[in-house]
Amino acid sequence: MIEAVSSVRKQGGVALVVSLLFLLVVTLISVVAATNSSRSFKMATNMQDMAESFQSAEAGAYATLGLVDTVNDPYQRVNNLDPFAGIAAGAHPLRNLRDPNAVDVDVFVVALDRPCPRSQNAASGSSVGVYDCEYYRVESAHSEEGRSRTQVQVGVVKTVIGSSGV
């Protein structure tokens, strides 16, 4: 009988150690889960910032395309470092962005009076000498300090009546 009582006392210590180890494992699992949860929030925020930055930069590039054949046409054979300069604030093409001032758009002349791209098909007509093309590069950059930066470049080809004319 005395021997059975001492065996129970030894087992009581083992149960305490096992329960403490179990609590330690559960604590580690909960800490890892909390860390992963906070990281996923940060990753989601970064993805949202990246998407918004790209969309803003792309909006700036395409807004210059919307100005073709208007009073503020940026494709006038010169480098245009502020294509939206003459536009009123209420009609500004980027006015609906969260921060339209964070978008910087520039239009650069690449080449003037060059042959236009044409089909490789021999049966198609030729416009060589009738039409010339002007090549432009539109650079649109969006930047928010401490968040994200994106730059989008778009090539623009403008067809004009060539030097031989019609």
**pLDDT digits over 59-69, tens only?**
989 888 888 88
- Residue 82: the pLDDT is 85
The reported pTM is 0.66
**pLDDT digits over 101-152, tens only?**
788 898 989 988 888 777 666 566 666 667 888 899 999 999 888 888 899 9
What is the 3-class SS of the chain, one letter each residue? CHHHHHHHHHHHHHHHHHHHHHHHHHHHHHHHHHHHHHHHHHHHHHHHHHHHHHHHHHHHHHHHHCCCCCCCCCCCCCCECCCCCCCCHHHCCCCCCCCHHHEEEEEEEEEEEEECCCCCCCCCCCCCCCEEEEEEEEEEEEEECCCEEEEEEEEEEEEEECCCCC
Domain boundaries, the chain: 2-161
**pLDDT digits over 28-80, tens only?**
999 999 988 888 888 998 899 899 889 989 998 988 888 888 888 888 888 88
